[in-house]
Structure 1
Amino acid sequence: MVLELFCSGDSLFPGGVGNTQGDAERFTSLIIDVEAKLFNELPDETWVYPGHGSDTALGKERPNVSEWRARGW
């Protein structure tokens, strides 16, 4: 079994992407990057360690991306 780990800094947290201070343009840029560079490239088993707070796995967060887009944060 290969365990994949990823340190996401402040880009991905349990429940959403990083804080973009309510700036719609910054949010759009960040979520596009997170989808392209994480969700589209790494398997569900990849464990994510944010810059602070709790850790998570891509498989746990992936189903929520459309909800994050809809809420805009």
Structure 2
Amino acid sequence: MRALPGGVGSTQQDPARFSSLIDDVEERLFAALPDEAWVYPGHGKDTTIGAERPHLDEWRARGW
């Protein structure tokens, strides 16, 4: 799963894939880890859960 920074990654404009991926990211990362937990994505710079958490609603609204 590619997640962060800036979103959950490409779902090739498939709403079902996006919904599944963002739901998984919210459950497995944001619900399970504290804000100070570091995340090391495959692309982009390292970040923390707390730095990305405020963007969840934006990602959902954007749809990618």
Alignment TM-score, normalising by the size of structure 1:
0.82
| Residue of structure 1 aligned with 2:21, choices 11, 30, 46 | 30
Q: Secondary structure of 1:25's match? A: helix
Taking the TM superposition and a 5 Å limit, the aligned residue runs for 1:18-57 are 18-57=9-48
Greater fraction of residues in helix = 2
Superposed CA RMSD: 1.0
Q: Which runs of 5+ in 1 are unaligned?
A: 1-8
Q: Which runs of 5+ in 2 are unaligned?
A: none
1:7-49 deviation line (CA, Å, top 9, x unaligned): xx52x12111121111111000000000001000100001000
Greater fraction of residues in strand = 1
Structure with higher Rg: it is: 1
1:42-73 deviation line (CA, Å, top 9, x unaligned): 00001000112211110000011011001101
Identity of aligned residues (%): 66
| Residue of structure 2 aligned with 1:64, choices 43, 52, 55 | 55
Return the alpha-carbon distance in structure 2 between the equivalents of residues 48 and 22 of structure 1: 25
